[in-house]
Amino acid sequence: LALHYDNWGDRSVVFGFLPIGLLFQALISIGAAHIEEWADE
Amino acid sequence: MIAALLQAAPKSPVPLYVVGVYLLLLLGFSILNSRRARGSAGEYFVASRSIGPFLLLMSVFGTTMTAFALVGSTGKAYDSGIGVYGLMASASGIIHSLVFFLVGIRLWAIGKRFNYVTQIQFFRGRFQSDLLGYLLFPVLVGLVIPYLLIGIVGAGAVVKGIAGVPTWLTGLVVCGVVLSYILTGGVRAAALANAVQTIVFMLVGILAFTLISGSLGGLEQATQNVVDNTPQLLAREGEIGHLQFLSYCFVPLSVGMFPHLFQHWLTARSAKTFRTTVIAHPIFIMIVWVPCVLIGVWAAGAGVEAPGGNSNAVLAKMVGMQLKNPWVSGLLMAGILAAIMSSLDSQFVCLGTIFTHDIVVHVTGDRFDEAQRVTLGRVFIVAIVAVTYVLSLFPPPNVFDLAVWCFSGFASLFPLVVAAVYWRRATAAGAIASVLVAGGTWAALFYDGLLGPTLAGEKIGEDYLIGGMMPVTVMIAASTAALVVVSLLTRPPSGATVDRFFDEGSTNEG
């Protein structure tokens, strides 16, 4: 995902309102989505 | 205070009624909930390390999203187009969570084990160096104060743009409200208030997006205006350079060294508490940033002129122009103030905590008992709020340009925290060299890129780049080189120190 570099000059719009570069980056965001014992003598 | 706001406003008072009710509800909620808490120093400064997953997510996200996230993102998109989202938002979704996972959880564990309250206590312990603590203190405080100014000045600009209230009065009200609840409940009050405010500003952002797109003739028409009038804003070509885009990824590393975020990490009940924050953070960023970026490019496409050439005033102007309903304007104003105050509260508490623990308690030893430490913390918080408020009355001309320099300064210290938790061979001399080189590099580039031109009366236009890259690249490279070279040339830390901070429990495993 760090694909994020990504469409550089593509100005096309999808779904009638969403620039394709922004759509791709939003998809990147969606794609992105013993220590206890040690911390506890 | 709110009555004074109403009298000073030349426009419809309705938005101010809405904001007034919101601020009173916020105050009541925060004070009521924080009074249930126990009054110990551990409670006041780290919420007794008992914050659960939802509150940690909300407080970390609310603290990270500043005035810049709403006001600055819209202004930046107005100037540079949709590439701003990839530059600042989707990169942060990956890198912030990376830092929370690899650095935040470790620092939480170390903080809990050794009962640390501040970053400087950790660095002093890890490197066995008093000098490092005294060196980091002015650096961290010096980087947080401009960050605070961005919030207060940003709040003033938004309220003035929508309701016509003078900026000095907005700053006074914002500081007064934040002070009221953090004096009562410390970091827990900040976390509770952040939860409320984060929900408010996320919902309000979506509301603004829906209403503004409707007022422009719908989503398709709003974007068609951009296609017809400013098509260059629909792509990165010609707006953002390749090296600039790639090197901007270093800026979000700043979250690893934010002292106010460190304090929120320490409030977590357990390591598992971090899971929700790590997973949901990229989605929350998307929910806030996509609407703001679209509003910015839509404003440019609709031919909206930035007031006084200041693109950061575009959001307030869009709200004022497109939404004639004063009740809606009031809601939007409350949402923007929520985003701003959810960062200010944590920063104020953290500076009070640093002054109390890293200077007074460190110098005087056990002279002050728990109750006196809490009192000291409150006194310092009041003093910091007063100083910041006075500074906000004389704002620098490029206050929002300070944001990226602030973040770059914190990011230049990121190699230090990584070495502290992952590199046994890192020495106190290496750490001190790293801080000095980071500070020196930052100061030189800051003078060359922002301060010098501002003093000479030049208008700051394009981003300041070095070889096409963000200046943070040079800062991180220099501080890393200093840390590694000096550490390798000096005596390794003692076996006792290494054993204390590095054993198998503190590692990642699958």
Q: What CATH number has the domain bearing residue B306? A: 1.20.1730.10
Instruction: Please tell me if residue B306 touches chain A, with a CB cutoff of 8 Å.
Output: no
- Which residue among A11, A17, A32 sits closest to B94, beta carbon to beta carbon? A32
Least confident range from B6-15, B103-112, B208-217: namely B6-15
Whether the pLDDT of residue B198 is over 80: the answer is: yes
Q: Which amino acid is at B451?
A: L
Whether the pLDDT of residue B230 is over 90: the answer is: yes
Structural domain boundaries enclosing B282: 16-35+46-393+401-506
When pLDDT is averaged across residues B481-505 and rounded to a whole number, the result is 87
Residue B1 has a pLDDT of 47
Phi, psi (rounded to 5 degrees) for B268: -65, 140
Structure token pair of residue B15:
């938005």
Residue B430 has a pLDDT of 98
**Do B236 and A40 lie within an 8 Å CB cutoff?**
no
Is residue B8 a part of any domain in this protein? Answer: no
Structure token pair of residue B87:
């530059």
Instruction: Please tell me if residue A41 touches chain B, with a CB cutoff of 8 Å.
Output: no
Contacts of B142 by beta carbon, 8 Å cutoff, 6+ apart: none
Distance between CA atoms of residues B389 and B346, nearest Å = 16
Is residue B11 a part of any domain in this protein? Answer: no
Is residue B241 a part of any domain in this protein? Answer: yes
Please, where are the H alpha helices in B167-218?
Answer: 167-215
Distance between CA atoms of residues B284 and B277, nearest Å = 10
Is residue B92 a part of any domain in this protein? Answer: yes
User: Which B positions 225-244 lie with beta carbon below 8 A of chain A?
Assistant: 227, 231-232, 234-237, 242
Is residue B4 a part of any domain in this protein? Answer: no
- Which residue among A8, A25, A35 sits closest to B505, beta carbon to beta carbon? A35
Whether the pLDDT of residue B14 is over 90: the answer is: no
CB B275 within 8 A of CB B58: no
- Which residue among A7, A8, A34 sits closest to B505, beta carbon to beta carbon? A34
The total number of structural domains in chain B stands at: 1
% pLDDT > 90, chain B: 43
Is residue B186 a part of any domain in this protein? Answer: yes
Distance between CA atoms of residues B329 and B320, nearest Å = 7
**Do A33 and B283 lie within an 8 Å CB cutoff?**
yes
Whether the pLDDT of residue B398 is over 70: the answer is: no
DSSP string, B109-169: HHHHHHT--SHHHHHHHHHT-HHHHHHHHHHHHHHHHHHHHHHHHHHHHHHHHHH---HHH
When pLDDT is averaged across residues B480-494 and rounded to a whole number, the result is 95
Instruction: Please tell me if residue B216 touches chain A, with a CB cutoff of 8 Å.
Output: no
Question: What separation in angstroms does the CA of B183 have from each of B30, B47, B235, B264?
Answer: 11, 13, 47, 17
Helices (H) and strands (E) in chain B, counts: 26, 0
Which one, of B396, B412, B501, B413, lies nearest residue B450 by Cα? B396
Distance between CA atoms of residues B172 and B285, nearest Å = 29
- DSSP classification of residue B458: P
Confidence of residue B328 (pLDDT cuts 50, 70, 90): confident
